[in-house]
């Protein structure tokens, strides 16, 4: 009762003050948690693609002219007092702090606002680049000023996007050159961000598709980056092929596979016994991701007679996929072509799939048998609250990884294949948020030439698959 | 909730927000002004020639393990010089034509620095990394032998960083991650526990 009387006496002024205070607090909280994004400009040329910080001076955006030119050609600088005398290849340009006119080969070039000297750096207004650079570089430039993306000469990557039916409902984005975007997912969309790729806008910035899973792709540019946002009705993931020139976006397997093959539900406890012991974990997650290490421009080791590790790992990964599928273990091959993938891309793709186990395949001519590695996670990094350091993302899963390695080792030993378990500072193991094991396949005792023999590949792949299947306790698992 | 409770809640929220804003501002300022640990310690002149017994942890490709090996080598009093001399002695073993773990000709250590607290930085030359054999185990053996040799012979070294030509490098030869600091206690997990020197 007392509460209701007090509430009734609460004046509108107090309520307003309280509400305003709450809003103020929230705004402060948000602004403190998310510092403003640093402004940058991206420069694309046939020589180099790079980004530079943009500095605000008197309400205008500025960029360091020396840093901008340095990757493009031979730059030298002479200073006389505050006068800046800059040579780019054979072109001479003078800047005077406080002056909004530069002298290029003794000809005046308006900068719009004054040249600024700050901490030894000569800053020119970003808006002056379209006037200044064509004369300095001796060629055309195309500046997307609102997004601060500067294209020099004929630098540029075009792309097309269309829905393909193999795999079903996949959006295939083909680029005219290799790209290396960062990929992120949010509910209902997948975002590709191109910072160091000179991706150019398509004819229409919004592409719509008559697909059940993928509805549109929207192109946008901002702060030195281009973005392609793919909207979908289901969770999406991206994979690379064609040496990084093609990105396929498709529904995450969890959605499609649940229709085609019903996974066995997690085993239930019997007679009061625990479902799993730490040494033999049972996984509630569903897929196995098999990742053939290396690929594309990154060949890995040279094995025997000029055989590249990337080809051996791909052949073995495909063999392992077949062996797992025979045992009803659903599997996704992360690299199924000669594509170049960074370790970050591999980790990011795998983490989006939330696999039960991530298996990374390597090959070597050193020693015999198979070596199984779990991540060696350095303790030199710190997690901040709920945010895991990328380099330590594997830490909570290390015991699961070791359990998976143990199970595989048991099956290899049963097959009399020499096996050794170690920890390795091997990326992307430490970035994987699931049980993660690297498998280094070495030749049999009969000699290095048998490393790639079909019989040996089958033998090793079969044993590893049996170990993985045992973890699953699926029907048909085991031998 | 009565007005008094509301006001208390708002005051707490505002105080928390101000605190976080101040914290974020200080963190940003700290990030801007923090200078990386300097590697500018003075380098002592070369060792005078007096030799000492040291234990080198030598990689053996056939067993895939490190083998401790006693060596009598000239070691300086200066800890940084000492680290460099230990690494060079190890490399000389690997450069021998009968080495159990051959490395590329011309491999050398450019410098070694000791940075507080307990970090050793070993700067190798390009020939060492560019010509190194590729493979998880073969690279791990090299890294582990460098780390163990420095750490076991210079007290107080807890972590080791390997640079190549003064720069951080992603991997040694496609596998062993060189972007990290190696914790000395965890390095033996890479190649199995090392036998004790007496064995």
More confident residue, A34 or B36: A34
pLDDT on residue A254: 52
- What per-residue confidence (pLDDT) applies to B103? 96
A358-395 confidence digits (pLDDT tens): 999 999 999 999 999 999 987 666 666 667 788 888 98
Minimal CA–CA distance to A152: which of A54, A39, A244, A42?
A42
Write the pLDDT tens digit of every residue in A427-455: 999 999 999 999 999 999 888 888 888 99
The pLDDT confidence band at residue A90, using thresholds 50, 70 and 90, is confident
> Distance from CA of residue A90 to its chain's centroid?
40
ipTM above 0.95, yes or no: no
Q: Using a pLDDT cut of 70, give the percent of chain A over it.
A: 82
Specify the pTM: 0.56
pLDDT value of residue A182: 81
* pLDDT confidence of residue B194: 45
- Determine the pLDDT at residue A16: 66
* Lowest mean pLDDT across A53-57, A213-217, A259-263, B92-96: A259-263
Interchain proximity B64–A362, CB inside 8 Å? no
Mean pLDDT of A457-475: 84
Which residues, 6+ apart, have CB-to-CB distance to A1 below 8 Å? Answer: none
In contact, A365 and A414? CB cutoff 8 Å? no
Does B175 lie at the interface with A, CB-CB under 8 angstroms?
Answer: yes
Name which of A33-37, A287-291, B168-172 the model is least confident about. A33-37
- Per mean pLDDT, which of A254-263, A324-333, A404-413 is the most reliable? A404-413
Closest CA to A321 of A329, A309, A310, A311: A329
Q: Which two tokens stand for residue B174?
A: 């496609």
DSSP B27: H
- Give the 3-state secondary structure percentages of chain A, helix then strand then coil, rounded to 5: 30, 35, 35
CB A234 within 8 A of CB A255: yes
**Chain A CB contacts of B180 below 8 Å:** 378, 380, 391, 425
Instruction: State the pLDDT at residue A239.
Output: 79
Q: Is A393 helix (H, G, I), strand (E, B) or coil?
A: coil
Which of B60, B63, B64, B56 minimizes the C-alpha distance to B137?
Answer: B64
Is residue A2 over pLDDT 80? no
pLDDT at site B29:
66
Q: How confident is the model at residue A25 (pLDDT cuts 50, 70, 90)?
A: low
* φ, ψ for residue A158, nearest 5 deg: -95, 160
pLDDT value of residue A48: 86
Indicate yes or no: CB of B133 within 8 angstroms of CB of A14. no
Residue with tokens 């070791």: A402
| Distance from the A185 Cα atom to the nearest Cα atom in chain B, whole angstroms | 26
Calculate the average pLDDT of chain A. Answer: 82
Of A36-50, A401-415, B165-179, which range is least confident? A36-50
* Burial (0-12, 13-18, 19+ Cβ within 10 Å), B150: buried
**Which of A6, A18, A427 faces B177 most closely, judged by CB atoms?**
A427
| Chain B residues closer than 8 Å to A402 by CB | none
- The answer to whether the Cβ–Cβ distance between A380 and B180 falls below 8 Å is yes
Predicted confidence (pLDDT) per residue in B154-175, tens digit = 999 999 999 999 999 999 999 9
Contact A292, A314 (CB under 8 A): yes
Average pLDDT, integer, range A1-16: 50
Interface-testing mutation among B175, B187, B188, B189, with chain A (most A C-beta atoms within 10 A): B175
Question: Which residue ranges in chain B fall short of pLDDT 70?
Answer: 1, 29-49, 193-199
Q: What confidence tens digit (pLDDT) does each residue in A92-141 have? A: 999 999 999 999 988 899 999 999 988 878 999 999 999 899 988 988 89
User: What confidence score (pLDDT) does residue A448 get?
Assistant: 82
Output the pLDDT for position A340: 85
Say if residue A176's pLDDT is above 70: yes
| Residue whose tokens read 């901008």 | A68
To the nearest whole angstrom, how far is the Cα of B45 from the nearest Cα of chain A?
A: 32
A301 touches chain B (CB under 8 A): yes
Asked if residue A428 has a cis previous peptide bond (ω within 30° of 0), the answer is yes
A330 pLDDT above the threshold of 70: yes
- As a whole number of Å, the end-to-end CA separation of chain A is 73
Is there a contact between A309 and B134 if contact means CB atoms under 8 Å apart?
A: yes
């Amino acid at each position: 009762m007392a509460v209701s009387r007090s509430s009734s006496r609460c004046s509108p002024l107090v309520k307003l003050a309280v509400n305003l205070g709450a809003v103020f607090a929230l705004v402060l909280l948000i602004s403190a948690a998310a510092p403003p994004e640093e402004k940058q400009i991206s420069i694309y040329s046939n020589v180099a693609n790079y980004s530079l910080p943009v500095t605000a001076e008197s309400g205008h955006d500025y960029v360091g002219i020396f840093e901008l030119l340095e990757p493009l050609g031979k730059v030298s600088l002479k200073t006389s007092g505050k006068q800046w005398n800059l040579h780019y290849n054979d072109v001479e340009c003078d800047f005077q702090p406080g002056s909004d006119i530069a002298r290029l080969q003794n000809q005046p070039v308006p900068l719009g606002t004054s040249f600024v000297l700050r901490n030894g750096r000569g800053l020119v207004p970003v808006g002056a680049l379209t006037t200044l650079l064509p004369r300095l570089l001796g060629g055309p430039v195309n500046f997307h000023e609102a997004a601060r993306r500067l294209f020099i000469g004929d630098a540029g990557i075009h792309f097309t996007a269309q829905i393909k039916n193999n795999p079903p409902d996949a959006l295939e984005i083909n680029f005219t050159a290799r790209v290396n975007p960062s990929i992120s997912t949010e509910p209902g969309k997948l975002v590709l961000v191109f910072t160091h790729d000179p991706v150019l806008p398509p004819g229409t910035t919004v592409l719509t598709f008559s697909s059940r899973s993928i509805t549109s792709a929207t192109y946008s540019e901002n702060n030195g980056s281009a973005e392609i946002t793919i909207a979908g009705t289901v969770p999406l993931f991206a994979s690379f092929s064609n040496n990084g020139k093609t990105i396929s976006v498709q529904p995450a397997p969890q959605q499609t596979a649940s229709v085609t093959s019903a996974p066995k539900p997690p085993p239930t406890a019997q007679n009061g016994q625990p479902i799993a012991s730490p040494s033999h974990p049972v996984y509630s997650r569903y897929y196995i991701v098999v990742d053939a290490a290396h690929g594309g421009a990154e060949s890995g080791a040279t094995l025997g007679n000029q055989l590249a590790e990337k080809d051996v790992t791909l052949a073995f990964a495909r063999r392992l996929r077949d062996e797992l599928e025979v045992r009803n273990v659903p599997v996704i091959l992360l690299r199924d072509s000669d594509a170049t993938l960074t370790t970050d891309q591999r980790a990011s793709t795998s983490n989006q799939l939330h696999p039960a186990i991530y298996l990374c395949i390597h090959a070597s001519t050193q020693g015999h048998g198979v070596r199984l590695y779990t991540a060696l996670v350095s303790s030199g990094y710190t997690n901040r609250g709920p945010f895991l350091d990328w380099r330590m993302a594997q830490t909570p899963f290390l015991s699961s990884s070791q359990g998976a390695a143990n199970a595989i080792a048991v099956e290899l030993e049963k097959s009399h294949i020499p096996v050794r378990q170690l920890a390795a500072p091997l990326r992307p193991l430490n970035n994987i948020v699931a049980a993660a094991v690297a498998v280094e396949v070495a030749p049999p005792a009969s000699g290095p030439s048998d490393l790639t023999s079909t019989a040996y590949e089958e033998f090793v792949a079969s044993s590893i698959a049996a170990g993985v299947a045992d973890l699953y306790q699926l029907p048909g698992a085991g031998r | 909730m009565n007005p008094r409770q509301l006001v208390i809640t708002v005051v707490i929220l505002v105080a928390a927000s101000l605190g976080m804003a101040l914290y974020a501002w200080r963190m940003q300022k700290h990030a801007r002004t923090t200078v990386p640990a300097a590697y500018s310690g003075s380098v002592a002149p070369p060792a005078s020639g007096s030799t000492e017994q040291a234990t080198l942890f030598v990689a053996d490709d056939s067993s895939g393990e490190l083998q401790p090996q006693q060596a009598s080598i000239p070691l300086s009093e200066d800890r940084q010089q000492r680290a460099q001399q230990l690494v060079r002695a190890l490399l000389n073993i690997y450069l021998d034509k009968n080495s159990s773990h051959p490395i590329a000709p011309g491999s050398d250590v450019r410098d070694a620095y000791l940075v507080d607290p307990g970090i050793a930085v070993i700067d190798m030359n390009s020939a060492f990394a560019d010509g190194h054999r590729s493979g998880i185990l073969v690279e791990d053996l090299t890294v582990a032998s460098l780390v163990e040799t420095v750490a076991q012979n210079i007290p107080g070294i807890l972590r080791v960083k390997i640079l190549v030509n003064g720069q951080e490098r992603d991997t040694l030869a496609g596998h062993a991650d060189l972007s990290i600091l190696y914790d000395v206690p965890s390095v033996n997990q890479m190649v199995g526990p090392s036998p004790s020197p007496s064995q």
